[in-house]
């Protein structure tokens, strides 16, 4: 069984969907501490593009007195009108894309819902994208597994619990995974080096590593093949 693991993300990029597509099971780590304001954190933000450059869509989060909570306990700061801003960003920059009309009503509905916690919102949007892309990989949330351990041990224990023979890690796994321990458990670790496709975007000059929505709105159902 091929397993991949990641933290949930807001409107994730192509590479994550490629890794999920090429796995039998994917685990979303919803019971780990949320990361904020780091270059590698996309739990509550992602990138799209306009005519001139890229721009960020960021879901504002409530601050807590006891440090950053686990992702599943993270609350959205709805005192800010982020939903209207995000929908308007799609409408302003993508309304002329070939397949925007297929997603406009979903976007309206998504951004009109009242989301209190971050996780349900991420799950809802990611499930929509997986369904549209036709990706049938089994999805599991780490909070349902009751796994113990930290960093490499935590990932190893998830693999053992689910009976994984191959674990497909993102490139950052090289920084902390204890490969010898995985070898002792007969778990093959592979690091995905995603080769980003160049596809037609609405504006000139190609920008990689955007939310998969940029691909979908420009290429519709062909997006699965382009991944």
The pLDDT score that the predictor gives to residue 172 is 84
pLDDT in tens, 158-217: 999 999 999 999 888 888 999 999 999 999 999 998 999 999 999 999 999 999 999 999
Backbone angles phi, psi at 149, to 5 degrees: 115, 170
Residues 6 or more apart whose CB falls under 8 angstroms from that of 117 comprise 72, 73, 74, 75, 76
pLDDT at 37 over 70: no
In the chain, domain spans: 2-226
The pLDDT score that the predictor gives to residue 39 is 66
Task: Indicate the pTM of the whole model.
Answer: 0.94
Half-sphere exposure of 136 (CA within 13 A, CB side): 0
Please tell me the distance from the alpha carbon of residue 125 to that of residue 150, in angstroms, as a whole number.
28
Residues 46, 10 contacting (CB under 8 angstroms): yes
pLDDT at 53 over 90: yes
pLDDT in tens, 18-34: 999 999 999 999 999 99
94 sits in which H/E element = helix 82-94
Buried b (16+ CB within 10 A) or exposed e, 86-120: bbeebeebbeebebbeebbeebeebbeeebeebbe
């Amino acid at each position: 069984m091929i397993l991949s693991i990641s933290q949930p993300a807001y409107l994730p990029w192509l590479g994550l969907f490629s890794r999920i597509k090429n796995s039998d099971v994917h685990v979303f780590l919803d019971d780990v501490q949320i990361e904020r304001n780091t270059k590698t954190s996309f739990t509550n933000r992602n990138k799209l593009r306009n005519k001139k450059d890229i721009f960020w869509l960021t879901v504002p989060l409530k601050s807590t007195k006891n440090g950053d909570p686990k992702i599943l306990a993270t609350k959205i700061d709805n005192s800010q009108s982020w939903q209207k801003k995000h929908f308007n960003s799609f409408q302003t920059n993508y309304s002329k894309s070939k397949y925007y009309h297929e997603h406009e009503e979903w976007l309206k509905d998504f951004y009109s819902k009242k989301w209190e916690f971050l996780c349900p919102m991420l799950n809802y949007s990611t499930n929509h994208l997986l369904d549209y892309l036709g990706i049938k990989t089994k999805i599991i949330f780490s909070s349902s597994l009751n796994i113990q351990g930290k960093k490499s041990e935590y990932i190893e224990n998830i693999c053992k619990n689910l009976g994984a023979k191959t674990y497909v890690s993102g490139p950052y796994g090289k920084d902390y995974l204890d490969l010898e321990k995985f070898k002792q458990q007969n778990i093959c670790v592979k690091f995905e080096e995603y080769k980003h496709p160049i596809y037609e975007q609405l504006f000139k000059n190609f920008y990689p590593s955007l939310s998969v929505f940029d691909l979908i709105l420009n290429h519709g159902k062909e997006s699965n093949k382009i991944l």
